[in-house]
Chains A and B, each alone.
Chain A
Amino acid sequence: MKFYVQKSDLLTVMQKVIKIVPARPTLQVLSNICISVKGSVLAMRAADLDLSMSARTEVKSSGQDRDFIINAKKLFDICKELPEKEILFNAEKSGFVQISTGVDEFKLPIQTADEYPEIPSFEERASFSLNAKLLDDMASRVRFAVSRDTTRVALKGVLMELEQGSLKMVATDGHKLGFCKETGLPVTTKKKISIIVPPKALDQLPNIMDPAGGDVSVKLGETYIEFTVNTTVLTSKLIEGEYPNYEQVIPQTNTKKAVIKRDELFSSLRRISVISNSRTRQIRFAFEKNSLTVSTSDRDFNGEGKSSLPIIYDTDPIAIGFNVDFFIEILRLIDDEDIVINMNTPLSAVLVLPADKKKSEKMLFLIMPLRLLDEGNE
């Protein structure tokens, strides 16, 4: 079998699937990609143990249809450097493929695809579609809160909940929590479905998205999830386990509310974080009538920092400790002029929201305080 393919077409599909090829594969076969040519369609596929991606392009082929696997990195590095023209792949002899452009000629070993992981097929429980950029935005809002703790397996993923046309995404490691929600989606079922998606699958969303915009269709099964954009398909195993009841930890009533300019707080925290202890990352928020003072001191370095800003706050003064990095990360994810901080006590979960009502229905963040250990001495 021989086929001709435009370099740019080949590179477009390769750039997508190459990202799935594991840098240090657990199985040697996974350092390859699988190419299958059927008539005028070339499908290229990469897989690791949990994730697989396939993408297609048009070719001009002659001879029998066939599948083979080839070292991903070598092929990619060659293709990148080839001139912008039609490339000929000749796989008529067994054991290798000849790649020629008229000027260059390469010979690369190939193998049959027998031992390469199959595309998982699974039964659909539900499907929906939404704007790909929107789904990626949701994923990025919660991604930061995914746990790295290997013992709480469920928390190592992002919870996706489908119910009555709404999609909720949640991630938490117990110290911080990100939540976002989209409603009015065309979902094929009214039943509530909860699944836990590995973050590395969501990380691939920008990679499969059409730069010109458009939707991604999402298909959910018992143990798999599949994202499809045009002819690119990303399939991932789901994380098994029970996600903790996150709704229970979102405080329903809040006795203290502060409204703060996002940008001002963001730059204050960035400055203060320089001095914050590299291990504890502790900073102190002191709320007083219409003013907030963020301060920190680092005993190891023997330095101190303090920054004050005007806010809207009209209840009893309160001082709360936070990990400055968590707070900065949350502010980065809120695209609103003002933010709202809802508090109860220095030791209970603090809610951070965009001030805009419409936006705050779509996202919220929780951050657990740091106990201010030397509070008595201050």
Chain B
Amino acid sequence: MRSERTIIHVDMDCFYAAVERLDNPDLNGKAVIVGADPHGRGVVSACSYEARVYGVHSAMPIREAKKRCPHGVFVPVNMHRYEKMSGHIMDILNSFTDKTEQVSVDEAFLDVTECFKLFGNGAQIGRMIKERVLTQTGLVASVGVAPCKFVSKIASDLGKPDGFVVVAPDEVLTFLHPLPVGKLWGVGKQTEKLLHALNLKTIGQVHACPVEVLCAKISDSSAQFLKELAAGMDTRTVETLGEAKSMSEERTFQEDVGDKQLLRHVLLEQTDEVMRRLREENMKCRTAYLIFRNTDFTKHTRRTTLNRPTDSSNEIFACIEKLLGQEDFYGKKVRLIGMGVTHFGDDQEPQLDLFGQKKTEEVKTKSIDAARDIIAQKFGKDTLKRAALTPQADHTRP
């Protein structure tokens, strides 16, 4: 007998703030705001429920958050730490099924339809996930169980914090229909306004509304889509993670930068990091790109492609340095600088190279890269740095 399709949405509660608390229990019970320097001009990345009471929310300018919640504890973003925890959580989820779709660092869908024999029904698996995440990481996950993706997402959200909401197939409509239209997938502020204009406030009203009426305000395809969602129909499958298409690092400066030496320094640091990650994945790349944002917020990329794949930090930095050298940033200062690599391949590049194995310099840097990776893995990635990245360095050498 085929089981009913069952999708679980797992969403970590205040993920960044919760990880910070894990590392520093003094933060418990306090309003924790993770984000940029509170005196700078960055934004809030995440905050605890204690801070939300004061109207602080993510993506709010950090100064505004400081104004609203002056007693809050402001913590800088430690993305690598979050990614590591996220990796742990994904490992736990993957131990239930390989049909997992990681949507962001703290959010994932699981299709557990075929796991019933192993772990029990959807509600039981949902419980197990919550418990296992809590015992193994100390973090709280909100879980929604439903017959389709978008209902499970709404379900996990409704129960927050520490949510656990199960929507059985025959309860989907009674669950959805009282909810405001804004909860529908793809309905943002603009569409919400349009729907309100049609006097459609709840999902149930959208369900009851003829599609022609919707078409008067929104496009035919969106109208059709919303009607289906309102009827609890969402046939989208859980997309198991495809391979990454590029890897990059970016940094926004507190103050706009015109000094190329400083930019070069930052790019070198970023290249080291990106290439370390690339090698960790056993991948090679052929294209390196430079990203920058001017003071006027326009974002630009410049790229260069090698004629063979590489995983050498120095080789990619040579490309980045060249791109940097050619760039005049339209005569403006730079607000954000970054670099990335793409066009992935592996050693199995079919075209052989005349000078392939013979370059001793290449072999040397390869073993340096390998040694640095081992040290980074064992003792942390900031243990060993290039001399050029130390504060007293002469910035003209790599």
Interface residues, chain A, with chain B CB atoms under 8 Å away: 147-151, 172-175, 177, 244, 248-249, 280, 282, 321, 323, 347, 349, 366, 368-373
- Let me know if B354 and A349 touch, CB within 8 A: yes
- Identify 19 residue pairs between A and B in the complex whose beta-carbon atoms are under 8 Å apart, listed by A's number: A150-B322, A151-B306, A172-B354, A173-B307, A174-B308, A174-B353, A175-B307, A175-B354, A249-B358, A280-B350, A282-B350, A321-B350, A323-B351, A347-B352, A349-B354, A368-B352, A370-B350, A370-B352, A371-B348
Chain B contacts of A366 at CB under 8 A? 354
Interface residues of B in 340-360 (CB under 8 A from A): 348-356, 358-359
- Let me know if B307 and A149 touch, CB within 8 A: yes
Chain A contacts of B306 at CB under 8 A? 149, 151
Not counting A174-B354, A370-B350, A371-B352, a sample of 15 additional A-B residue pairs whose C-beta atoms are within 8 angstroms of each other reads: A147-B307, A148-B307, A149-B306, A150-B304, A151-B318, A173-B307, A244-B359, A280-B350, A282-B350, A347-B352, A368-B352, A368-B353, A370-B352, A372-B350, A373-B350
CA of A149 to CA of B350, assembled, Å: 18
Report B295 CB to chain A, min CB distance, Å.
Answer: 24
- Let me know if B351 and A249 touch, CB within 8 A: no
Chain A contacts of B355 at CB under 8 A? 174, 244, 249
* Nearest residue, chain A, Cβ from B356: A174
Chain A contacts of B352 at CB under 8 A? 175, 347, 368-371
Report A147 CB to chain B, min CB distance, Å.
Answer: 7
Chain A contacts of B307 at CB under 8 A? 147-149, 173-175
Interface of A is mostly: loop
* Nearest residue, chain B, Cβ from A326: B351
In the assembled complex, B283 has its CB within 8 A of some CB on chain A: no
Of A172, A244, A248, A370, the residue contacting B351 (CB under 8 A) is: A370
A-B contact count (CB 8 A): 57
Interface size class of B (residues with CB under 8 A): 20 to 34
Chain B contacts of A177 at CB under 8 A? 354
- Let me know if A371 and B350 touch, CB within 8 A: yes
Chain A contacts of B358 at CB under 8 A? 248-249
Q: Which of A174, A321, A366, A369 has the most CB of B within 10 A?
A: A174
- Let me know if A151 and B315 touch, CB within 8 A: yes
Report B14 CB to chain A, min CB distance, Å.
Answer: 45
Interface residues of B in 312-342 (CB under 8 A from A): 315, 318-319, 322
CA of A175 to CA of B351, assembled, Å: 7
CA of A147 to CA of B305, assembled, Å: 12
CA of A347 to CA of B353, assembled, Å: 10
Interface residues, chain B, with chain A CB atoms under 8 Å away: 304-308, 315, 318-319, 322, 348-356, 358-359
CA of A149 to CA of B355, assembled, Å: 14
Report A97 CB to chain B, min CB distance, Å.
Answer: 34
Chain B contacts of A282 at CB under 8 A? 350
CA of A171 to CA of B355, assembled, Å: 13
Chain B contacts of A248 at CB under 8 A? 358
Chain B contacts of A370 at CB under 8 A? 350-352
Chain A contacts of B348 at CB under 8 A? 371, 373
Chain B contacts of A150 at CB under 8 A? 304, 319, 322
* Nearest residue, chain A, Cβ from B288: A151
CA of A336 to CA of B355, assembled, Å: 29
Chain B contacts of A349 at CB under 8 A? 354
CA of A172 to CA of B354, assembled, Å: 9
Chain A contacts of B353 at CB under 8 A? 174-175, 368
CA of A173 to CA of B354, assembled, Å: 8
CA of A17 to CA of B348, assembled, Å: 47
CA of A248 to CA of B152, assembled, Å: 64
CA of A366 to CA of B305, assembled, Å: 23
* Nearest residue, chain B, Cβ from A366: B354
CA of A148 to CA of B318, assembled, Å: 16
* Nearest residue, chain A, Cβ from B318: A151
Chain B contacts of A244 at CB under 8 A? 355, 359
Report A78 CB to chain B, min CB distance, Å.
Answer: 35
- Let me know if A151 and B354 touch, CB within 8 A: no
Chain B contacts of A372 at CB under 8 A? 350
Chain B contacts of A149 at CB under 8 A? 305-307
- Let me know if B322 and A249 touch, CB within 8 A: no
Q: Which of B306, B315, B355, B358 has the most CB of A within 10 A?
A: B355
Report B363 CB to chain A, min CB distance, Å.
Answer: 15
Report B259 CB to chain A, min CB distance, Å.
Answer: 24
- Let me know if A249 and B354 touch, CB within 8 A: yes
Report A7 CB to chain B, min CB distance, Å.
Answer: 42
Report B275 CB to chain A, min CB distance, Å.
Answer: 15
Chain B contacts of A368 at CB under 8 A? 351-354
* Nearest residue, chain B, Cβ from A249: B354
* Nearest residue, chain B, Cβ from A368: B352
Report B165 CB to chain A, min CB distance, Å.
Answer: 47
* Nearest residue, chain A, Cβ from B322: A150
CA of A147 to CA of B351, assembled, Å: 14
Chain A contacts of B351 at CB under 8 A? 175, 323, 368, 370-371
CA of A371 to CA of B350, assembled, Å: 4
- Let me know if A151 and B350 touch, CB within 8 A: no
Chain B contacts of A174 at CB under 8 A? 307-308, 353-356
* Nearest residue, chain B, Cβ from A153: B322
CA of A358 to CA of B282, assembled, Å: 49
Chain B contacts of A280 at CB under 8 A? 350
Chain B contacts of A371 at CB under 8 A? 348-352
Report B324 CB to chain A, min CB distance, Å.
Answer: 13
Report B341 CB to chain A, min CB distance, Å.
Answer: 13
Report A314 CB to chain B, min CB distance, Å.
Answer: 26
Report A236 CB to chain B, min CB distance, Å.
Answer: 21
Identify the 7 closest CB pairs spanning chains A and B, nearest first: A368-B352, A371-B350, A174-B353, A149-B307, A370-B350, A249-B354, A174-B354
CA of A321 to CA of B304, assembled, Å: 28
CA of A357 to CA of B305, assembled, Å: 40
Chain A contacts of B354 at CB under 8 A? 172, 174-175, 177, 249, 349, 366, 368
Chain B contacts of A175 at CB under 8 A? 307, 351-354
* Nearest residue, chain B, Cβ from A244: B355
* Nearest residue, chain B, Cβ from A370: B350
- Let me know if B356 and A151 touch, CB within 8 A: no
Chain B contacts of A172 at CB under 8 A? 354
Report A374 CB to chain B, min CB distance, Å.
Answer: 10
- Let me know if A151 and B308 touch, CB within 8 A: no
CA of A106 to CA of B381, assembled, Å: 70
* Nearest residue, chain B, Cβ from A371: B350
Report A207 CB to chain B, min CB distance, Å.
Answer: 28
Chain A contacts of B304 at CB under 8 A? 150-151
CA of A111 to CA of B332, assembled, Å: 31
Chain B contacts of A147 at CB under 8 A? 307
Q: Which of B319, B350, B353 has the most CB of A within 10 A?
A: B350
CA of A248 to CA of B349, assembled, Å: 23
